[in-house]
Structure 1
Amino acid sequence: MNNNVLVTGGNGFLSMQLILQLLKQGYSVRATLRSLEKKATVINTLKANSVINLEKLSFVKADLTSDAGWEEAMHNVTYVLSVASPMFSASSKNKNGATEGILRILKQAQTAHVKRVVMTANFGAIGFSNKDKQSLTTEADWTNPNEKGLSAYEKSKLLAEKAAWQYLKTANSKLEFTTVNPVAILGSVLNEHVSDSFGLIKNLIDGSLKRIPNIPLNVVDVRDVVDLHIRAMITPQAKGQRFIASEDGQISLPEIGALIRQKRPQLANQISTKVLPDWIIQTGALVNKQAQEGKFFLDINRNVSNQKAKQVLGWQPLSNNETTILATVDTLLKYDLLH
């Protein structure tokens, strides 16, 4: 087996961090891009972050909505990190884009005799139907696709993961498959491209929230997600498994606000000290869409286990809730993303 890894959507927030770490660890990396015009951005970003062995990085034009380019992309590859998901909007006509994308990856990987595909799934496929606060959410859980309040994006990712497992079950394939299911991905970034989860912290700081809802969250540093992907890629016992990527424990929005006020005092005046009572959200959910979303996240069990990744993969988080949040704040300040 060679050390060739294919990373899909090479210019993405998580993909670039994966490429950086894979190159540092000596892997040869091929990255897919929907447009090769993005190639310079990836290379320049990696150079700016002290990556030197760029001769081991190559690019192929390939899009998850088409077969074109995938045969070339998969040629002589041992591992595929399926990170990208098709461009998505709630009004999109193609609600099955994520499913079609992962099935295209799996079929092309089979044809190319790839050893293992690791899919970047998400926690929304695992824990959004568990409302029992006394229980522990694990990889054995699945979110109900018809869960009231589940966003169209979350539903598309959930259905894509289900379809992937089902396809491999019926295809009688030798292809190995593993998923990594991250909670909200935060932390330091390589350039101004951040994940949607950064909006949670931005809204706390920019004055959008006059009263902070007492919503608990699970967060994870992007470096921990990268580490978990690579371990899931090479660990034999990871075959056929799902892994939650989360820091230990949970942290609420008011706790995040208090942390930022204490550790980044220059922002303290911008962050509300008032907490929005749960009953207001519960009552508002009867008539208001934003309150309905708040109630949905208020009801979810956030007692989430990351033990499987620790036990099977030997993974230990590099970060914790507090350091992840502060790294996120520093990123927002560094790239002037608070406006």
Structure 2
Amino acid sequence: MPSNPPVVVTGATGLIAKHIIGELVRRGHSVRATLRRMNKAEDVRRAVTRLGCDPAGVTFVVADLLADAGWDDAVAGSAVVVHTASPFPIQQPTDPDDVIRPARDGTLRVLKAAARAGVKRVVLTSSSVAIFYGSGLPAGHIYSESDFTDETRADLTPYIKSKTIAEKAAWQFVKSTPGAPELAVINPCFVQGPALDADLSTSHELYRLMARGVYPAVPRIRFPVVDVRDVAAAHVEAAFRPEAAGQRYLIGEGQLGLYDLGRVMVRELPDLKSKAPKFQLPDIAVRALALVDKRMRTILPELGEMKDYANARAKAELGLTLRSADEAVTAAVRSLRDLRLI
């Protein structure tokens, strides 16, 4: 394995993190990955192997977003930290701080530890939701990296607020802290692409619910899509390209609706036709269902929204060629069948 300093990847059990680790290993980097519990290390090794990479150069340390212990050891001797760890619940919590606090405080813990260790650059996994919910924007607005969500909006979910608050806290920290590392931020859209194991992301869990017939009908919402393999490549490019310092990158290609996801699932797996959603619900019905189904509350801000967005910066500055939304969703569905999860 190479003798260069390891790249630190936080939240190693997450889908994006696993793909980032694989991409780093593929490019010849050693990786130090953080976990909340060391008993998850073998799961990450298996995922890296599934990506066709040798996990021998991946080491693990224990560090929790809600505790100071472990972070100095985690980042010591590294020039680059990729911070992916942040909660993404399929059901919104009763207490918003259950997701806001670990997202914000964890991000600041990582940045403070990186500053103490002299880390050169931190790449933060934010989200397109930290961009897409501004206030007072005109009809037809084309979203880009210059937009920020207004986290004071009353209609936002705790998850949207958590990603926005965490990213804004990160930018404020590097702006106001002498000796802070450079910061680059990746804002991925709705993440699709291949799952690697049974520890499913929230976006992949959606297909398992559809495959069980949980949703005979779905809300009329559309969202920008991105393949997790492109998200991983974006993180690695942002880690090492000089021009990425101080930049945000909105990563997405195309848009699909929930109903479209079900149609792709049926196209690829015809045996699930009877289980897939049959029609789209009127918005008023979705709002009524959200009173009793917390999963519905997650998508309420999407009703009636059509988000046009620009991805030119990511393509130009990170050299990315992004997979189509259909390719990303197809890969997600096929991977879940290969893993015998749907």
Q: Measure the CA separation in 2 of the matches of 1:161 and 1:286.
A: 28
Q: How do residues 121-200 of structure 1 correspond to structure 2 at under 5 angstroms?
A: 121-129=126-134, 132=138, 134-200=140-206
Moved more, 106-115 or 211-220: 211-220
Q: Measure the CA separation in 1 of the matches of 2:5 and 2:69.
A: 24
Structure 1 residue 151, shift from structure 2 partner? 1.4
User: Per the alignment, in what secondary structure is the counterpart of residue 270 of structure 1?
Assistant: coil
Q: Which residue of 1 aligns with 2:31?
A: 29
Q: Measure the CA separation in 1 of the matches of 2:199 and 2:143.
A: 30
Structure 1 residue 49, shift from structure 2 partner? 3.9
- Residue 260 (1) aligns with residue 261 (2): no
Q: Measure the CA separation in 1 of the matches of 2:148 and 2:306.
A: 13
Equivalent residue pairs, number: 334
Moved more, 287-296 or 258-267: 287-296
TM-score, length of structure 2 as denominator length: 0.88
Q: Which residue of 2 aligns with 1:324?
A: 328
- Residue 237 (1) aligns with residue 243 (2): yes
- Residue 13 (1) aligns with residue 15 (2): yes
Structure 1 residue 122, shift from structure 2 partner? 1.0
TM-superposition CA deviations, 1:105-134 (whole Å, max 9, x none): 111111111110000111111102367551
Pick aligned residue for 1:41 from 40, 43, 53: 43
RMSD between aligned alpha carbons? 2.6
Q: Conserved in 2, the CA contact under 8 Å of 1:7 and 1:83? A: yes
Structure 1 residue 22, shift from structure 2 partner? 0.7
Q: Conserved in 2, the CA contact under 8 Å of 1:149 and 1:293? A: no
Aligned residue identity for 1:74: V
Structure 1 residue 332, shift from structure 2 partner? 2.7
Identical-residue share of aligned pairs (%): 33
Aligned residue identity for 2:333: V
- Residue 110 (1) aligns with residue 112 (2): no
Q: Conserved in 2, the CA contact under 8 Å of 1:128 and 1:300? A: no
Pick aligned residue for 1:90 from 73, 78, 93: 93
Pick aligned residue for 1:50 from 49, 52, 72: 52
Structure 1 residue 12, shift from structure 2 partner? 2.1
Q: Conserved in 2, the CA contact under 8 Å of 1:90 and 1:153? A: no
Structure 2, unmatched stretches of 5+, are none
User: Per the alignment, in what secondary structure is the counterpart of residue 309 of structure 2?
Assistant: coil
Q: Measure the CA separation in 2 of the matches of 1:314 and 1:151.
A: 33
Q: Measure the CA separation in 1 of the matches of 2:147 and 2:131.
A: 5
Q: Measure the CA separation in 1 of the matches of 2:155 and 2:165.
A: 16
Task: Identify if the C-alpha distance between structure 1 residues 115 and 286 changes in structure 2 by more than 3 Å, giving closer, same or farther.
Answer: closer
Structure 1, unmatched stretches of 5+, are none
User: Per the alignment, in what secondary structure is the counterpart of residue 299 of structure 1?
Assistant: coil
Task: Identify if the C-alpha distance between structure 1 residues 244 and 121 changes in structure 2 by more than 3 Å, giving closer, same or farther.
Answer: same
Structure 1 residue 74, shift from structure 2 partner? 1.4
TM-superposition CA deviations, 1:149-199 (whole Å, max 9, x none): 321122122111111111111114351001111111111122112211123
